[in-house]
Structure 1
Amino acid sequence: MTSDEKEAADSGDSAGDKDAGKTRENPLPLGSTVSTDDWDLTINSVNLDAAAEIVAADMINQEPAEGETYILVNVTATFKGDDADGSIPLASIDFVSAEGKSFDSTSKLLVAPEAFDSLSTLYKGGSTTGNIAIAVSGTDVNQGVLAVRAALLSDKVFVAVK
């Protein structure tokens, strides 16, 4: 079984579509878990209109610019590896617009409310849950998908935003 097939099989995709998540046109459903040998990353929810929450979360956060929207992606990362030293969750989540433009959490400095902790070491069975804030501009966010990597060098898997 390839790593793509393993990720799709572990995703919780109820339809059993072995190609689900491999393309933007056929994303895994919201709530899916993307897995590698060492990590499970679950996309719990996506708030496509989170400007008020993000602006209120920290004084560094500014109102979105004209034509810009803030979204919050709530994720849970669980370490299932055997490394006695543990590991930090190096997952990446991008929003990909219907036009094919990608936005990530580094596009604009935003402090998310109840932010995802990507710096603390987790040990086997340990997990962390939190939000990732992403600034998206010039697109209808309802038509986008998430591009998810459960670990630094893992394959990209697409997940629906609603």
Structure 2
Amino acid sequence: MLKLRATHLSWINGQVDDPTDQCAHGKVELKVDESTLIEPGEAEFTLSAAGLYLLRTIEDDHTPDSSVCEGNWLFPCCGFDVFAHGGRYKVACMGCNTGTDIFVRHQGNSVVLSAGERLYTVSLPEWRASVLGFVAQIDAFYAACTPKVDPEDPAWSLLWAEWHERKLRAASEA
């Protein structure tokens, strides 16, 4: 059984609401059966960037040679610097060089997660449902707060456009 959930959601200032902060922050719990890949008390992550990256893993592998987060971690500490990108994806989220990487590789109708030397196999439908549940938590957190001040950087629109497009596509496959 796969468990992927966001916990302790907040804005960078630690508050439950901040209309100027574009990035949701918090902790993550990731477990496969009885094995814990990410402990909820382990670290603070930028969950909005992690959510986008996780949505990408529904269709694409995330490996050292083919990253869905191009220069960042799957669960990044920071992802506040968002910019239009001419690479594999139209938007990139950058920040500090800290985070947790879990590699994701598709094998038929299964997904293999790797953390260090350990491998964990889950079904693609279970992975998709878990990722969609995770991003639903992030969406609900944003919806419960006051509307965000429009960011000056238009790359944020690219981030949310890709987020919603991938989420809708994944939901239609479920």
TM-score (norm 2): 0.25
Select the structure with the greater relative contact order (CA < 8 A; seq sep ≥ 6): 1
- Greater helix share, 1 or 2? 2
TM-score (norm 1): 0.27
